[in-house]
Amino acid sequence: MNAISDFIDVKEHTITYSLPPDFDAKRVQIIILPIDEENGTLTKKNRIRGLRKSISGKEAERLEAHVKEIREEW
């Protein structure tokens, strides 16, 4: 699976993005998350951290293992 992560400026509630020539897909999923600019640094909220204590036991262990596996792929 190909994946792209990028920061795009929004102008007048519009974004424009072109896929690289080697990105071969007939359909894509677009997830739009706002980011804050502070002192010239881009930051994103950690959504996983917000889940802490909301799940526990085997589900939490499975999620943690999945996140660790994904991080190692990158």
pLDDT computed for residue 12 by the predictor: 93
Residue 44 falls inside a structural domain:
yes
Residues 6+ positions from 28 with CB-CB distance below 8 Å: 19
**Per-residue exposure over 49-73, b if at least 16 CB sit within 10 Å of its own CB, e if not:** eeeeeeeeeeeeeeeeeeeeeeeee
Residue 15 falls inside a structural domain:
no
Q: Which amino acid is at 33?
A: L
- Tell me the mean pLDDT in the region 13-28: 89
Residue pLDDT, tens place only, 60-74:
788 888 888 888 876
State pTM to two decimals.
Answer: 0.41
| Domain of 63, in residue numbers | 40-73
Number of domains the chain is built from: 1
Residue 68 falls inside a structural domain:
yes
Residue pLDDT, tens place only, 26-51:
899 988 888 876 545 555 566 666 66
Residue 55 falls inside a structural domain:
yes
